[in-house]
Copies of this chain bind each other. A is one copy, B any other.
Amino acid sequence: MRIGELSRRTGVPVPTIKYYLREGLLPGGELTSPNQAQYGEAHVHRLKLVRAMVEVGKLSVAATRDVLNAVDEPGNSLHQVLGIAQAAVTPAPVAADPEDWARAEELVDALVVRHGWAVKPDNPARHALAQLVVTFRDLRQDDLLDLFDDYAVAAERLSTAELAMIGRREGLDAKVEGAVLGTVLGDALIGAMRRLAQADASHRAFEAARG
């Protein structure tokens, strides 16, 4: 199909497709003349994947390219691709007082040990968690730190269910794609669920009693 048909099939505008081609998010089509290329079903699927990551998952174009390069690299294991996808969705920490930071890291290390998690010392999610500890303490919201174990247990259950489901898929490509989407879109999913559950809990706790 030509680029116009690719656009109709995916709902992505032609200029956006050209931008993704230039940025290396989408492999080029087969040239049938110097100014015309043909695209196939693999392009349709890849373009939908890019759209899911950029528009729904809110990943930057650079981060999306990093993840897709990892997916395309034949030597990468599922565990490696997952690590790269995780790093792409984890924001870099902002500056903090070194002493506060060290105290926060202690709390995170203790949590990791308590839950028996085998994670590398340089896993970026450790820093993201330390950042939140520093922030909650700085704002004198220390009681919220007591919720961390509830969050850890919930995260553990979800990850186990998700990876079991992905493990049941046939073929490495399908597994890798599931792991990437679970990581990138899983945040939006648990976010939306939390808001619905919270609205309900808040209604019951603070509104229903008022009649």
Contacts and interface: CB of A to CB of B under 8 A. Distances in A.
Interface of A: 11, 45, 48-49, 52, 55-56, 58, 77-79, 82-83, 86, 89-91, 94-97, 112, 115-120, 123-126, 128-129, 131-132, 135-136, 138-139, 141, 143-144, 146-148, 150-152, 154-165, 167-169, 177-179, 181-183, 185-208
A147 B207 CA distance: 30
Q: By DSSP majority rule, is chain A's interface helix, strand, loop, or mixed? A: helix
Among A77, A86, A195, residue most surrounded by chain B Cβ atoms (within 10 Å): A195
Nearest to A129: B192
Contacts of A124: 195
11 contacts: A56-B131, A132-B185, A132-B189, A136-B181, A147-B162, A151-B189, A154-B157, A155-B193, A159-B194, A163-B202, A167-B205
A118 B156 contact: no
B117 A199 contact: yes
Given A132-B188, A135-B52, A144-B178, A194 B77 contact: no
Contacts of A120: 199
B77 A201 contact: no
A187 to B, nearest CB: 5
- Of A151, A187, A203, which is in contact with the most chain B CB atoms at under 10 Å from its CB? A151
Contacts of A91: 58, 188
Contact of A128 (B82, B143, B165, B191): B191
B77 A144 contact: no
Contact of A117 (B95, B162, B200): B200
Nearest to A83: B199
In the complex, which of the residues A116, A132, A163, A196 has the most CB atoms of chain B within 10 Å of its own CB atom?
A: A196
Given A187-B194, A192-B132, A144 B165 contact: yes
Contacts of A185: 132, 135-136
Contacts of A189: 129, 132, 148, 151
A43 to B, nearest CB: 14
